[in-house]
Structure 1
Amino acid sequence: MRFFLPLLAFMLTLAGAAQAQFVPVAGLGAAQLAVVVNDDEANSVEIGEYYRKARNIPAANIVHVRIPHRPHKLDAEQFEALKAQIDARLGPEIQAVLMVWTAPYAVECNSLTSAYTLGLDSGLCAKSCAPSKPSSYFNAPQGKPYADYQLRISMLLPTESVEASKALIDRGVLAGFATPAATAYFLQTSDVARSSRARFFPRSNKVPSKKLTIKTLQADSVEQVGDIMVYETGLAQVPKLNTLKFVPGALADHLTSFGGDLLAEGGQMSILRWLDAGATASYGTVSEPCNHWQKFPNPAVLLSHYLRGNSAIEAYWKSVAWPAQGVFIGEPLAAPYRR
């Protein structure tokens, strides 16, 4: 029942969209974010320093580690050593962790971000389609992740291209200066299995107080639009991304099995492609999750918390009920609706 209440509350809020009000929250800031840099990767070092300056991250919040050879996946022992090295440098004020690299992004069948935040769930690997450990941070009303929920939420900032990563950081920073007129697109596609969360799509509507239009469509894609704040769909490959423009702070993801296997990209689109297209943050799974909606962002919960002023990392983490297999990527402090 807990999973359906967020949708009900959100829909009731939007029912009077002309007068819709979203109680603002005091979201995470730079002083509460630790930035972890891999000194064995030149791109990580350069991008980490760019991010520190762009977001005015305190020097004490920068953590240096060494991960040679950029493995896609860590085993349990490697992960525990890395986590211990990071945690040893963190004070109680740190609520969230940004790891500045693309790989590693998995630990056994878990994502690196979820293993770090929730702890490694090795038992899931025997049957990855089974329900996974629930997150106590799912739909959290307010409060700080570590102080109130004993979780340090985490995200990866990809480093495949220094130029692209700096542009991503700039988009996140720019999102805090003005709230643009924008649209949230929710697509129920012809892929029935990958449309399992369509029941949570908000109805098409307007939220004038946020200058946001919500469009819920039965379609496999949108094209030639330039005002995207949210794009959620369900397909193995999302077409026509090259025709789209995303506004600063945009969130975008697609429900498919291996979108979070960032560098494999066999028959399914990596969520890195969302960032390449102009989104600021995304989410995808690193191992076969089946199509449990609980393993993917709940659209109503994601949009509700983002509109209240949560940062990208907070809104995305709050939207996933069972995130063990899902990796969160992007610029964590983007908050276009925080005023």
Structure 2
Amino acid sequence: MLFKIVLGMLLVPALFLAGEGSKVLVVVNENVKESVEVGVYYAKKRNIPEGNICRIKCSVTDGTDISNYKKQILEPVLKAARNGIQYIVMTYGTPYMLSINGANYSLDAFLCFPNENISSSISPAKSAGLGLSGYTGEPSQYYNKSFHFQGGGRNFLVTRLDGPTADIAKELVDRALYGEQFITTKYGKGVFDARGIKSGGYYPADQDIIEAGNIVKGKGYETLIDLNPGEVSDKSCPDTLWYFGWYSYNNYNDAFTWKVGAVGIHFDSASAIGIRGGQCWVSQALLRGITATGGAVSEPYADNYTRANLFFKYLLDGYNFAEACYLATPTAKWMMCFVGDPLYSPSFSEKKTDTNKPSIVNLEFQKNDNNPDKEAELFVTADKFVSVKIEYGKDKNDYSKSVKLEVKKIKHNLDLRELKPATNYFFRLTCVDSSGNVQIQEVEYKTAASVPPAIEYINVEKHSGEIILTWEKSSIEDLAGYKLFKMEMSEKSYGSPIELPVDSVSYTDKGLINEKTYAYCLRVVNKDGALSPKTEIYVALSELLPVTNLKAEQKSYGVKISWSAVPSRKVANYEIVRSLKVKSGYKKLRNTTETSLADINVKKGSTYYYKVITKDKNGAERGVSGPLEVKVDAK
């Protein structure tokens, strides 16, 4: 293979120019808007040509099967990966797990060394005596080769920009760019959480973690090498920059405050089982601000996991993140999935010290919709990654309450609780960037006046293309009116409110489309302009609706009930029921396909209540009209 020939020619480390965007293919899923946004953002930040963005249409789920993988992902990627492409970046919204014969594997691991003839009948690995039977991956051709990756043929290094949110995926490149500029041996610390194993099958992996710690320490970083059997304790590792440790299955040990640029991998069989959510290590580390990480999407077995010592040997010796990952991973087409900018090279570029204070570019208070007089949300946007602490009180000399967010982000939102209505508060905001630069800003905010109580209940009446809402009038003395918000359920947010006057107790919404669902939100407004909490209702406007124009006529033989037909072929018949009470006691008179019924069994001087029920061919009730009150003449 060309790949083997190229590797054989490069026997010593070569100078690698970080940030060579022309070597990167970015794969985005056009079925997910955020996937495209992440890919375009990354391409702009790394100067990747527009032609290097591969737009595919594939599953929006975390995993895909082998048939869809080949057709929707592998074929278009190989077509787009022209000569010179060495790295593939999968983005938020593309599958990261590949299902073959009931077992899950890392999709990215298969894409590294593509094989269009992957068999769907490979047997999942399982224990067999002292070893394993079935498929357990393939030996990696790039494992521990000690030179920079040059690609060739259909061989690539694959990482992904992904995580619990699209914004987190975008942040990964910004964090990497900051790390490339400002990481020095004094910038952050190494944490290596071994277990002090003396012998047995896990002994080599534990020794790798210890050796990795010594490599980092030898580079001049302050380093903790923990040999206790348990994990390092909660919140005990501030300013963590480099990490490798184990073991807590499908769980994140919240012991770390990550520096911007931090890289860490946790030795855990389910560490990447759900990178877009859940409790797995990779997902939670990304939520807390790690810059690059990796893990297993399913049981990898210890011998196949990325080796700690090799990973940090290469990462801190001029190799980029993608190279370090695959140089340290012995098995290809298996379980490991790596999340981060493949070009991230924290040890390559010339370093400088960041001495610039962060700037607060936006500071905005937003009242809580349900409790605008007692709760608020503070949105803070800085020009770099910062942690945020907000102190507040009713006096500048008494900041009695505080909220702190340790995760360094550009955009923060903080919930403020237990505020008092119509009260002026003083806030002191402290932002600290990853290099220790501090910015402090003070601001004032006044809460809303006391809010009116919400409407308790909204009644609904449905007709073809029409919804009628009714409610009891608000009893507050300073009532100024109502605001009614509406949206189709396919929309993401309510539109502009409909202003309703003080005496309103109903609203008729016309021109609607049958078979759609509509959401309504009604809020009371007082004379101070304060809004009540929301009263929401969701209305499914079925095609089969209650009959209209229900009326009664007294005849010589009794009572004639009539109505207008529902214009739908799905209507099978109408069922007419009658009672002497308005709310209960209804009994069936008969079913009919006509639009009228003669009731001859009535008594003079009695009052009857009628309902007409629309029925479909399955006998299901699809709409009720009534009750219609009829007083039979006594004569």
The separation in 2 between residues aligned to 1:218 and 1:42, in whole angstroms, is 46
The separation in 1 between residues aligned to 2:318 and 2:126, in whole angstroms, is 34
Matches within 5 A, 1:1-339: 25-26=15-16, 29-68=20-59, 70-81=60-71, 82-108=73-99, 109-119=104-114, 120=118, 125-127=123-125, 130=132, 131-147=136-152, 151-158=155-162, 160-180=164-184, 181=186, 182-189=188-195, 197-203=205-211, 205=214, 210-219=219-228, 220-221=231-232, 223-235=235-247, 236-237=249-250, 240-241=253-254, 244-262=256-274, 269-289=280-300, 291-293=301-303, 295-323=304-332, 324-339=334-349
Q: Return the TM-score normalized by structure 1.
A: 0.81
Name the structure with the higher helix share: 1
My pick for the range that moved more, 124-133 or 102-111, is: 124-133
My pick for the range that moved more, 104-113 or 164-173, is: 164-173
CA drift of 1:257 comes to: 1.7
Could you tell me whether the CA contact under 8 Å between 1:102 and 1:159 is conserved in 2? no
Where 2:146 maps in the other structure, the secondary structure is coil
CA drift of 1:226 comes to: 3.1
Where 1:146 maps in the other structure, the secondary structure is coil
Where 1:253 maps in the other structure, the secondary structure is strand
The separation in 1 between residues aligned to 2:348 and 2:137, in whole angstroms, is 32
Would the alpha carbon gap of residues 38 and 309 (structure 1) be closer, same or farther in structure 2, given more than 3 Å must change? Answer: same
Structure 1 unmatched runs, 5+:
1-21
The separation in 2 between residues aligned to 1:325 and 1:111, in whole angstroms, is 5
Name the structure with the higher strand share: 2
> Given residue 44 of structure 1, which amino acid in structure 2 is its aligned partner?
S
> Given residue 127 of structure 1, which amino acid in structure 2 is its aligned partner?
A
Q: Number of residue pairs matched?
A: 312
My pick for the range that moved more, 82-91 or 95-104, is: 95-104
- Per-residue displacement from partner, 1:65-117 (whole Å, max 9, x unpaired)? 1114x122211111112111111011111001001125411112220110111
Where 1:226 maps in the other structure, the secondary structure is strand
My pick for the range that moved more, 216-225 or 324-333, is: 216-225
The separation in 2 between residues aligned to 1:161 and 1:287, in whole angstroms, is 22
My pick for the range that moved more, 300-309 or 279-288, is: 279-288
> Given residue 275 of structure 1, which amino acid in structure 2 is its aligned partner?
L
Where 2:83 maps in the other structure, the secondary structure is coil
CA drift of 1:154 comes to: 0.5
> Given residue 163 of structure 1, which amino acid in structure 2 is its aligned partner?
D
Larger relative contact order (Cα-Cα within 8 Å, sequence gap ≥ 6) = 1
Q: Root-mean-square deviation (CA), in Å? A: 2.9
The separation in 2 between residues aligned to 1:132 and 1:75, in whole angstroms, is 17
Would the alpha carbon gap of residues 206 and 139 (structure 1) be closer, same or farther in structure 2, given more than 3 Å must change? Answer: closer
